[in-house]
Amino acid sequence: MGPLWLLALIAGLSLFGFAIGRWKSVALAREGRQPMAARPAHYGSFVLVWTAIPAVIVLILLSIGRPYIADHAVRAHLPDNVLADETNLSLAIANVEQVANGLKTVTPDEMQNIKIGVVTARSVFAKHGVPLAGDVEPYQLAAAISLNAIRATLSDITDVTVSLVTALCLVFAFIRIKPRLRARTAVERVILVLLILASSVAVLTTIGIVLSMLFQALHFFSMVSPANFFLGTVWDPRFAAAGSQESGQFGFLPLAWGTLFISFFAMLVAVPVGLFSAIYMSEYASSRVRSVAKPLLEILAGIPTIVYGFFALTTVGPAIRDYVAVPFGLGTSGNNVITAGLVMGIMLIPYVSSLSDDIITAVPRALRDGSLGLGATRSETVKQVVLPAALPGIVGAILLAASRAIGETMIVVLAAGVAANMSLNPFTEMTTITVKIVNQLTGDLEFTSPQTLVAFALGITLFVATLALNVLALTIVRKYREQYE
């Protein structure tokens, strides 16, 4: 049986455990000698949990341990000269694995032929569709045979152990069902552990991502000095041929400038449009208009950014080039900062408007009434009372949108190009940090050269920048929350 079958077995027995556990508790309750400490479903879940969890843990432990034992068995058959060659050891073991896989396909007759040397193992394997790099050495054959045998044994052991554990736990849990058993607390404790595990996944992943980026970035900074990276004004990583000592220039500033410049134009579009639409939605629109327009606006947030990229590439970019840039002599490229900023700004409108709308709507009605009751017009009320009260929250929304703008990649590639320029003219090609990360990490990679490792340095810089923005946004939003609770 494979692990999938074992899991199915565990699942089946657990469900069975739930059914009989529930049945037993109902029966006990009917006897009525003692009041039951929990509901029937809790006793069922108690048996289910007790059946499934130990079995799954045993299965996981065995699955982790098996490769080590198999590896050990292979090494026992390898000759000393192979074992001594540290660098190619893993390759040798992989070769044995390959042979072992091939052996599974051959018939007993063919096996006999291979053993007495009438045919080569390689030709037999090739016939069955298992290609080998070279001829099979006798020691490899022996190791492969023993590997297969060990694997089969281990698989059997796993099957038996897991089945036994499952069945024993099932019986044990079933016997434990008594009226005074606090099944509810036990089950709830298990659920609590599950909840904790689920939330730690996100936290641990974040830590893992940061650490993996950090080590690669430190590796990069051991080759290129941080001063050259953070203060360099030329981005020219030069994918040098392997072995060449030319390292290229990794100036971060053009990318940072491009990112900020494009984000600036994006925010220039998104903030006023988003904010005005939020004000309209929350203060002026009738509920009927609002119920149609708000979802429509939010659909914008669901469009994949690559689609915005097409729009920029085929429509906005050429239009700006033909009607603005060329006539005024400002540039000749359909790829430019303005296009990227405009289209990205449109993409960000729903982020700004939807969040701000919620925040503006949350401003207490009493404040509006107070202002209107003093004879202020609606517009005065919005400008002087509602917006100032909602301002911290709106700033939070804008900062969230800004961190989206900084992290955006697809629109920039298609709308602003990939050339790292540092210019004040928004009609030139420019590019951003994320685009360059993609650039450096596509193609045939070798994680030892600064050309690839620079991506991690860029990544962690970007991570820190957006994290700072998000923390700022959250702090502001939290402060806002306290004001009205």
For the chain, state the CA radius of gyration: 33
Binding characters for another protein, 283-312, by CB under 8 A (x = yes): ---xx-------------------------
Part of the chain binding another protein (CB under 8 A), chosen from 210-218, 327-335, 381-389, 456-464: 381-389
CA–CA distances in Å: residue 445 to residues 208, 439, 449: 22, 11, 9
Q: Is 389 in the site for another protein (CB under 8 A)?
A: yes
| Least distance to another protein, CB of residue 367, Å | 6
CA–CA distances in Å: residue 159 to residues 4, 73, 79, 162, 240: 11, 20, 33, 5, 53
The DSSP result for 216-244, as a single string, is HHHHHHHHS-HHHHHH---EE---PPTT-
Part of the chain binding another protein (CB under 8 A), chosen from 39-47, 57-65, 243-251, 373-381: 373-381
Residue 400 burial (CB count, 10 A):
19
Across 148-307, where does the E strand assignment appear? 235-236, 249-250
For another protein, which is the closer residue by CB, 212 or 384? 384
Q: Is 482 in the site for another protein (CB under 8 A)?
A: no
For another protein, which is the closer residue by CB, 72 or 383? 383
Query: Smallest Cα–Cα separation from 465: which of 268, 265, 263?
Result: 263
Among 41, 362, 376, 441, which residue sits at the site for another protein (rule: CB under 8 A)? 376
| Least distance to another protein, CB of residue 484, Å | 9
Q: Which residues are CB-contacts of 32 (< 8 A; sequence separation ≥ 6)? A: none
Q: Which of residues 333-372 bind another protein (CB under 8 A)?
A: 364, 366-372
Task: Name the residue type at position 12.
Answer: G
Q: Is 483 in the site for another protein (CB under 8 A)?
A: yes
Q: Is 244 in the site for another protein (CB under 8 A)?
A: no
Binding characters for another protein, 17-56, by CB under 8 A (x = yes): ----------------------------------------
The CA-to-CA distance between both ends of the chain, in Å, stands at 59
Q: Which of residues 259-288 bind another protein (CB under 8 A)?
A: 286-287
Largest distance between two CA atoms of the chain: 106
| Least distance to another protein, CB of residue 34, Å | 50
Report the interface residues with another protein, using CB under 8 A: 286-287, 364, 366-377, 380, 384-385, 388-389, 483
